[in-house]
Every structure is written in C-alpha cells, then in structure tokens.
A and B are shown apart, each in its own frame.
Chain A
Amino acid sequence: MSPVFAMLAAMTLASAIAAMSFRKLVHSALSMILTFSGLASIYLHLNAQFVGLVQVLVYVGAVAILVVFAILLTRDSTRDSSVRSLAQSWLTGLLVAGAVFGTLATAIIGSRALDRALPQAAEITVKKIGEQLMTRYIIPLEVIALLLTAAMIGAVIIAMREKERK
C-alpha cells in the first residue's frame, strides 16, 4: 500500500463517516466536500487527471453548492436541535450496511481475477478523451445533453413557487 493512497483513503473515509454522523447539516455538507476532494485526489493518483478535475468542478463547484443552498432554504427554525436525527429503524439500517460491506469484502478478498500487477501508465491526454467523445461515444454524449437540459427544466419547474390559485 503506497503511503499516498493510505493518507488519501484515510482522509476520505474519515470525512465520509463524519459527513454521515454530524448533527448539523452544514457540517455534513462541508465534510462531504472534503470526501469529494479526497476522491478527486485518488483519481489523480490513479493517473486519471481529467476525471479528477471534472470531479472537483462538478462536485465541489456545483453539487456541494446546491446542497448548501438547499440546506439554507429548508432550515427548520421551529424545531430545536435536540430532536433525534436518526430514523426509527437506524439499527436495521446499520446492520444492512454492515452486511453489504461483509459480502463485498469477502467477494473481493476471495477473488482470483483481481490478482494482477499494475500495468504501465497509459498517456491519456484530454485531446484523446475529446476525440473519443466525438466519435465512439457521440450518441451517449447527445443523450446526456438532452438529459441535462431536461433535468434543468424539471428542477426549475419543481422548485418554482406555485402560483396562488383562486
């Protein structure tokens, strides 16, 4: 295990656990930002520069800001913070998550197909990614463009204040 990966993994995991367990929503959102940045650094460590930068741009720049805005717009001022923040079935949820991890971990550790050495790093330029996007992946790209437009219009319509009906 390389020390760089160990450090990044520890930071990412700690901030992910923190994000899921803080009482204050804003603290959770800020820890989530740290998790996303840690994941972006792991992508950079894995030689996927473009994906790492896109991860920062989209998650830190857009998704995190959206989450923060949503938190500020839905603040419960009537409710005091001493109310339980866990769902009624929290123990079941935790057990399910633990069981999922157990299953995944046994499968991963037991797998023979994963025993392979790290291959030579390929030179991945942004230009290559762009060429692939414009040739082989052109239809997914167009579909994504349509999806994003639809999502944007949908989000605006859902969040728009309904007009007072007489």
Chain B
Amino acid sequence: MNSLHQYLLFSALLFSVGLAGALTRRNAILVLIGVELMLNAANLNFIAFWRYGPNPEALTGIMFVIFSIAIAAAEAAVGLALIISIYRHYKTTNVDEVNELKG
C-alpha cells in the first residue's frame, strides 16, 4: 500500500464520519457540519489525485478544489439562513420535528 492509497483511505474514513453524523444527529446545524465534512473529504481526494497525477502543471485538481470551496461557502451561507428561518417558524432546529409541509 503506497501513499496515494493512504490519502484515499483517510478521505473515505472522513467521508464516512461526516455521513454518519449527518444521518444520526437530529440537529440541523450538525447535519450541515456533517455535509461540510463530506465535501472536504472529496476536496482532499482532488488534491491527492492532483499531487500524484501525471500532469501537475495543468492545475486541474487545484482549480476544482478552489471552486468547490467557493461553492461550499455559498452553500453554508444559504443553509444556515434556512436553518435560522426554520427556527423562527418552528422554534426548533430538530430535523425530526420539521416534517410537515403546512406553513
């Protein structure tokens, strides 16, 4: 097992931790944190593949991660705004209790 394997395994582990958190916790903010962890695991894969890839001068992996970080920032802003808005409405941030479409 060489070092590219170890980076990929680490990122798979990180992804699973994020997934487990997003699936098991009830608080919407923690679910969002879990999603962010999964996104970061994917970013790590891009960087590892870029570093071990045959053509690092093309910067493809780096560019992908930069754009992905920008999108993650936008996603976090909108997601947290939604959570705050849900909290105002239902007085809870529990994903289990927010289960009706009626406004």
Contact = CB atoms under 8 A, between A and B. Distances in A.
Interface in B1-37: 1-10, 12-27, 29-30, 32-34, 36-37
A118 B3 contact: yes
Interface SS majority for chain B: helix
A96 B81 CA distance: 29
A73 B85 CA distance: 10
A158 B85 contact: yes
A119 B54 contact: yes
Contacts of B26: 84-87
Contacts of A156: 81
Interface in A81-115: 84-90, 92-94, 96-98, 100-101, 104-105, 108-109, 114-115
Given A54-B66, A86-B26, A63 B16 contact: no
Contacts of A161: 88
Interface SS majority for chain A: helix
Interface string B68-98: 0111111111101111110110011101100
B73 A63 contact: yes
B40 A90 contact: no
B4 A116 contact: yes
B34 to A, nearest CB: 6
B56 A66 contact: no
B33 A28 contact: yes
Nearest to B52: A116
Nearest to B21: A20
A51 interface: yes
A112 to B, nearest CB: 11
A21 B62 CA distance: 31
Given A119-B52, A133-B66, 4 more contacts: A16-B14, A20-B17, A151-B75, A152-B74
9 contacts: A9-B10, A13-B10, A39-B44, A63-B72, A89-B24, A100-B16, A129-B66, A158-B85, A161-B88
Nearest 7 CB-CB pairs, A to B?
A: A93-B23, A20-B21, A151-B74, A97-B20, A101-B16, A122-B56, A104-B12
